[in-house]
Structure 1
């Protein structure tokens, strides 16, 4: 049986490695950040990384898993409260999708670096990572798409996924907080994030509701 102090040390070492990797991947990208840099920043040796993760690819996956497990649990909990209800609106479902992600990006929760890591993933087109995300979190997107299809019966499955993909892109941009609208000095980060969520939900709802279906989608 593992003693509590030993288990605590194991968690501490693993968390240090994950935190160091997240920060370095955010700054240098997946290819640019070496395991040597990670071990130096985490104050561990390479054997510790190999013990906990086995490889750099697995370390990258765990950096994502640490954040996305919590994010998608919150998303699905919020979605579960509105799924199938007669009074559910498109905004309710978008709220369940958008607001937990914007909460993740808050600096006091340590998610700001992860947002940059997420942006790196989009930019670097890492196919191994793309497969990992699809296999582990694709079911979340499918559950949201199912509820969107219920609320938007005039749209086909492909069109819904097109629109959800575009909403996700806008959400990622909002999470990065790198747009024209910057937080004013007299506005708290929480209030700024709430305003961003409200604007994005309204904007996304209008786009999702647009009855126009592209010629490409209509031809399939």
Structure 2
């Protein structure tokens, strides 16, 4: 379980400019945390390892985040805010139209997530996300539900409209499995790796196409 506070750390004033504070200090801490969480997990990455990697002291971490749980939250927030804005924007272009297909809605859900992995930082975050699923941290689950649950509810409403033959429980099972497949594809751990003569963009498009077809078949089966 994550430590809930940095009780052993010196406190910082809540106003003014803290020592070692620059415009990039918070970003350096977040980048170091993302790397260490991906490599070691949330409990396995210590604050001393994090401060060494970021080139800051414990007081700076305390000033910017206050607790390890809040630091984990911010690692997720800085990626997931943009991801879910992209998903909702994509969904808004297809939702509610008579011509909207299941594949349209799935692409709105899948493509923005895969586009997040277009660089090494995005791919690294996907490994952090995979850790979150594996480690079953209750605080993190609550944070994700409270801050991003509304996105999943909007997609679920559209899936419900397009798949009236499914019970709510069955639909939830299938969406959960689709999300697991998407997370696996985004983490880069799978058997399908990009070939040297295939561009990153072309590989991403192939992945989108395969995932949409796979997910549509799974969601729509009797």
TM-score normalized with structure 1 length: 0.89
Q: Partners of 1:97 and 1:197 in 2: how far apart?
A: 10
Q: How many positions carry a matched residue from both structures?
A: 204
- Structure 2 distance, partners of 1:62, 1:10, is 18
Q: State the superposition RMSD in angstroms.
A: 1.5
SS in 2 for 1:32: coil
Equivalent residue for 2:130? 119
1:21 aligns with 2:30: no
Higher helix share: 1
Deviates most, 175-184 or 197-206? 175-184
Gaps in structure 1 of 5+ consecutive residues: 1-5, 212-220
Matched, 1:205 2:216: yes
Unaligned 5+ segments in structure 2 are 1-17
Matching residue of 1:74: 86
Note if 1:88 corresponds to 2:84: no
- Runs of 4 or more above 4 Å deviation: none
Partner of 1:141 in structure 2?
152
2:6 aligns with none
Q: Deviations over 1:68-93 (max 9, x none)?
A: 00100000000011110111000000
| Deviating more after overlay: 42-51 vs 176-185 | 176-185
Q: Matches of 2:167 and 2:157 in 1, distance apart? A: 11
* CA distance in 1: counterparts of 2:22 and 2:169, whole angstroms: 45
CA positional deviation for 1:154: 1.3
- In 1, Cα distance between equivalents of 2:99 and 2:85: 23
Calculate the TM-score normalised by the size of structure 2: 0.88
